[in-house]
Amino acid sequence: MILPAPDSTAGRICPPSYRYSPAVFARAPELHADIVYVIGGLYGNAAALAEIERMACREIAAVTLIFNGDFHWFDVDPDLFVGIDAAVARHTALRGTVETELAGDDEANGCGCAYPESVPDDDVDRSNEILAQLRATARRAELRQTGLRARLAALPMHRVARIGGARLSIVHGDAWALAGWQFAHDSLHDAWREATLAAAFEQAALDGFPSTHTCLPALKVFDTGLGERFVVNNGSAGMPNFRGSRAGLITRIAATPLRGRLASARSYGATTAGVYVDALSVQFDADAWMAEFERLWPAGTAAQVSYRQRIVDGPCFSIEDALGRVPSHSCAAAA
């Protein structure tokens, strides 16, 4: 039996429905807060979610938790899927590429990641396979939670927020697309792109963009004619982000600095545009999560092949990479 070749564009294309102009952010804020946690790439990790909620309780003031997409991914067990979905629904949520594709039935986009050419075809194919399995899980979960996929589809792609005196837009991808890669660490720290990013800030009337999609963290502060502007990418809340670490990472943006027990969670940060921007380490129970991951994705499955090594050892990446202090190099990123 001759099988058709896989669609070479699935997982690499950025469909028109994913795209927008930076001008869409020049609107009144939908959200006002003094402290926000931006939580991208939870990937169905319930242990990380529980730890993030504990971290928020240690703050001296109320925290707004914002899940900016891809909170589903490894959670192919319907019970876990429903649990993650219900927990995220208690907070503010945006849809990432995963949630967008789960909400529909068109397989042409694959995982919707719009992977660049630097990502090998085999990695793209496995991501498409993970999404197909997760879509089947979402259909089963919907038998218990009527309208679940419609609720995912209704989540916004971005939100404008005022944090302290700063105007920000929380996005999943970048200033141009849900699956955009221009907020990846290598793009942010490329001096040739600074003019493009400065123009986007001016068009959007914003001080900063918190994002996630690329699955590796980054922080860049820009000196523009309008003052300091920044982009911060938390990488992944539910997976390791640095070599030799098993912790997740989230972004804290606040009008007040970190204090007390949470100060030890700070990996790096900046004070810019009138706010404190910090990358916080999420020290979830890594052994419990590893056992759960192995149960969900046994040896030989797509997620096991693509992600197990990262979950055990962390990616080929460092804080110096995230801050652009070392020359850009080719690291394995599973987004």
Instruction: Give the residue ranges of DSSP H helices in 175-285.
Output: 185-188, 194-204
CA distance 294 to 218: 29
> Has residue 334 been placed in a domain?
no
CA distance to 178, 179, 251, per residue, from 16 (Å)? 10, 11, 29
Structure tokens at 283: 């020290």
- Contact between 244 and 311 (Cβ < 8 Å): no
Asked if residue 330 has pLDDT above 50, the reply is no
* The pair of three-digit structure tokens given for residue 149, joined into one six-digit string: 């996929």
**Given this model, what pLDDT does residue 85 score?**
97
CATH assignment at residue 190: 3.60.21.10
pLDDT of residue 328: 64
67: β partners = 39, 93
User: Total domain count for the chain?
Assistant: 1
Q: What SS3 class is residue 38?
A: strand
Confidence of residue 125 (pLDDT cuts 50, 70, 90): very high
Confidence (pLDDT) at 325: 94
Task: Using the predicted structure, report yes or no on whether residue 71 has a pLDDT greater than 70.
Answer: yes
For residue 70, how far is the Cα from the chain centroid?
A: 6
Produce one character per residue of 216-240: b if its CB has 16 or more CB atoms within 10 Å, e if not.
bbbbbbbeeeeeebbbbbbbbbbbb
Q: Is residue 209 part of a domain?
A: yes
Distance CA 207, CA 133 (A): 39
Q: How far apart are CA 317 and CA 203, in angstroms?
A: 32
Q: How far apart are CA 208 and CA 168, in angstroms?
A: 5
Structural tokens at position 160: 């404008």
pLDDT tens profile 134-159: 999 999 999 988 999 999 999 999 99
Residue 134 belongs to some domain of the structure: no
246 located within any domain:
yes
Residue 119 lies in a domain: no
Does a structural domain hold residue 151?
A: no
Provide the residue type at 312 as one letter: V
- Percent of the chain past pLDDT 70, that is, above it, reads 95
Q: Residues 185, 212: contact at Cβ < 8 Å?
A: no
Which pLDDT belongs to residue 8?
60
**pLDDT per residue over 167-180, tens digit each?**
999 999 999 999 99
- How far is Cα 245 from Cα 37, in angstroms, rounded to an integer? 21
With b meaning 16 or more CB within 10 Å and e meaning fewer, what string describes 69-97? Answer: bbbbbbbbbbebbbbbbebbeebbbbbbb
The answer on pLDDT for 331 being more than 60 is: no
Residue 15 within a domain:
no
| Per-residue confidence (pLDDT) for residue 86, from 0 to 100 | 96
Return the structure tokens found at 156: 């916004």
CA distance 106 to 103: 9
Query: Mean pLDDT score of the chain, rounded to an integer?
Result: 94
For the stretch 290-309, pLDDT in tens is 999 999 999 999 999 999 99
Among 22-26, 46-50, 160-164, 261-265, which stretch is predicted with the lowest mean pLDDT?
A: 261-265
pLDDT exceeds cutoff 70 at 106: yes
- pLDDT(333) > 90: no
Please give the share of the chain, as a percent, with pLDDT higher than 90: 90
Residue range 25-47: mean pLDDT, rounded = 98
pLDDT in tens, 224-270: 888 999 999 999 999 999 999 999 999 999 999 998 889 999 999 99
| 88/262 Cα distance (integer angstroms) | 22
Determine which helix (DSSP H) or strand (DSSP E) holds 212, and give its type and residue range: none
Residue whose C-alpha is closest to residue 78's, from 133, 150, 30 = 133
The predicted pLDDT at position 272 comes to 95
Query: Which structural domain range is residue 209 located in?
Result: 20-76+157-322
Asked if the structure places residue 3 within a domain, the reply is no
Q: Scanning the structure block, which residue is given the tokens 């001296």?
A: 60
Residue 103 pLDDT: 96
What does the pLDDT look like over 272-285, one tens digit per residue? 999 999 999 999 99
Q: What is the pLDDT of residue 261?
A: 84
Query: Is the pLDDT assigned to residue 87 strictly greater than 80?
Result: yes
Rounded CA separation 91/206 (Å): 23
Instruction: Please give the Cα distance from 135 to 142 (Å, whole number).
Output: 11
Rounded Cα gap, residues 176 and 330, in angstroms: 24
Query: How far are the Cα atoms of 37, 128, 193, 284, 293 from residue 288, in angstroms, in the given order?
Result: 24, 26, 41, 9, 9
* Residue 113 near residue 124, CB atoms below 8 Å: yes
